[in-house]
Structure formats: structure tokens, C-alpha cells
Amino acid sequence: MTQSPNSINTEYANTDFDLKSNVAFDSLHSELQEACSVLQYTKGEDGNWHAVFEAKHNEDSRDRDAAMDILLIVEALESLSEPAKMELEACFLREFNIGFHCGDSWAYEHHVPQDVVRSVADSSCSIAVTLFPMRNQDGTSKMES
């Protein structure tokens, strides 16, 4: 099946590492910001502390995928101090959220190898998937807006 010239490809966007806790986790936040990009660290309206991190990349980011991003964050988790590890353990949400820009592709596959899934499980974390539609409700591209 051939795509039209103005079709949008589905592609990997990024992987967020999401944390939620009943208490602040300042040591964990401080240590992770050394190895990761901090997108958010705040006390939410729900009374819980929320944080979102992404992997930092030194190499060409066009070649990154979920496995690379997850392993970079897992590496940062493995190097945490004991106080930061205790704060991580206290988080009731520890989740790798894999995001995709959804286009016009009939089907899209993004492989996460077994060793990466095992690393997530060994870190006592979960995996989620978020799909970002790349078209507005009227069918126009969000990239043109």
C-alpha cells in the first residue's frame, strides 16, 4: 500500500520516566537530573509529588529508540545513592511511558528487547504506551497548525 505525499508516518517520539509519591523525593530528583533531563518535578493538585524525566543523549538523537532511552534511565537508577533508592522505592508510580506520534501508517511495530523489559522489571517499574495523534479532528495535520 502506497502512502500519499501528504501522509504522516508513525514514529517513536520518546520515553518518559514518570514518578509519583505521597512525599517529596528531593534526593532522587537531584541525582536523576545529573543523568536525565527533568521535564517536571512538582507537588500536584492531588497532593502527590510528580516527576517526569527523559534520557539525555550525547549521540545523534535520530537513532534513538525506546530500548536506548530506557537503558539510559535504568543506568541512572542503578547509580543512585541509598537515600535516593529509598525515595524511588517509596514512589507508588515508577513507569517508563513509551510515546509514539501516530500517523497514517496501517500498522507500526516498535520492538523492545527482552533484556530491556527484564531491566524494567528488575528496577520494579512498569511500562506504559502513549499514542499522540498527528491529525486534528478535521483530518488536517497537527504539524501544519
The 10s digit of each residue's pLDDT in 13-68 is: 999 999 999 999 999 999 999 999 999 999 999 999 999 999 987 665 567 899 99
Q: What is the layout of strands, in order, in the sheet containing 11-21?
A: 36-43, 49-55, 11-21, 93-102, 126-133
Could you tell me the CA-to-CA distances from 108 to 36, 37, 111, 132 in Å, in that order?
Answer: 28, 27, 10, 13
Which parts of the chain are beta strand (E)? 11-21, 36-43, 49-55, 93-102, 126-133
Dihedral angle sign, alpha carbons of residues 78, 80, 82, 84: negative
- pTM, entire model: 0.87
Task: Name the amino acid, one letter, at 39.
Answer: L
* Bigger pLDDT: 11 vs 115: 115
Rounded mean pLDDT of the chain? 90
